[in-house]
Amino acid sequence: MELIYHYTSVAGLKGILGQDTPTIRVTDSRYLNDSNEILRGVERAMSEISQSLSAKKYEEPIPNTIEFMESIINSIGRSLFFTASFCKEGDKLAQWVSYCPVNGGYSIGFDRAALLACAEDSRFEIHDVSYNEEPYKFIASAANVEHAIDAVENQVERDLALYNLVPIAAREIALTKDAKFETENEVRLFSKRPSTDFSLTGLDFFEKNSILVPFLPFGFPKNVVKKVIVGPMQHKELALQSLEMFKTANGYDFTVEFSQVPLRQF
């Protein structure tokens, strides 16, 4: 069984697991620490499109491949991306330091396959983040369409083939990260929604400083949680004791472990 881990504070642990239906906040990416990640992906895609695809002009109203793909990428750029992050490693020094408070935190281990099944039932996706700096694969696919289908004689077929690349393009843009972050081993839960769909089912908000931050709640069965690791902290024995009580009181059956990272927290 493959586990993926979400690092969080004690308040985050209680907020996620202390409900009848455990729930993770999948947050609007514009309100995360790296708010421009999607924008950089869109800009990179635009650059690669102009370098890799044909600018051959056709009679109106037939767009060439560059114009068509730029329209697709602009549409993706206007979409809302909601994301939550996991790590393939449950006891990683950099994650404790980066994603948990200085006085300690917890790493929640989820059955990846079971979480994926929940995602597929509710318009979410789960994928590994890519740290590959090679050109986007969807652009190579667009080039194949360009060469295989005549845009004048078979415009409808060409257009449909390019439109079919939209979910692939959105996924690559949402899941590509700078190679400097490769050690994070990130797995991402995300959902792309239309920017005009403010009646998103379940859309909610939490407070952060003076701002209301939009998120989509992602619920899952309790048996998806398989392990919780108590991070480096001063009173870890008390933390483990209370976590065992919390587990029983809330009907969970996960294992509890101490972090093995030699990090002293006060």
The pLDDT assigned to 121 comes to 85
DSSP for residue 109: E
Prior bond to 61 cis, omega within 30?
yes
Prior bond to 63 cis, omega within 30?
no
What are the pLDDT digits (tens) for 57-99?
Answer: 887 788 889 999 999 999 999 899 999 999 999 999 999 998 9
Confidence of residue 156 (pLDDT cuts 50, 70, 90): very high
Task: Identify which has the larger pLDDT, 85 or 201.
Answer: 85
The pLDDT assigned to 133 comes to 80
What are the pLDDT digits (tens) for 3-23?
Answer: 999 999 999 999 999 999 999
Q: Which residue blocks in the chain are alpha helix, DSSP H?
A: 10-17, 37-52, 65-77, 93-99, 112-120, 137-148, 155-163, 166-175, 236-249
What are the pLDDT digits (tens) for 124-140?
Answer: 999 999 988 888 999 99
Beta bridge partners of 193: 80
Please give the average per-residue pLDDT across 36-59, as a whole number.
87
Which tokens go with 155? 């415009």
Question: What is the DSSP pairing of strand 204-208 with strand 211-219?
Answer: antiparallel
The pLDDT assigned to 32 comes to 85
Question: Do 86 and 109 form a contact (C-beta atoms < 8 A)?
Answer: no
Rounded to whole angstroms, the Cα distance separating 230 from 209 reads: 27
The pLDDT assigned to 113 comes to 97
SS3 168: helix
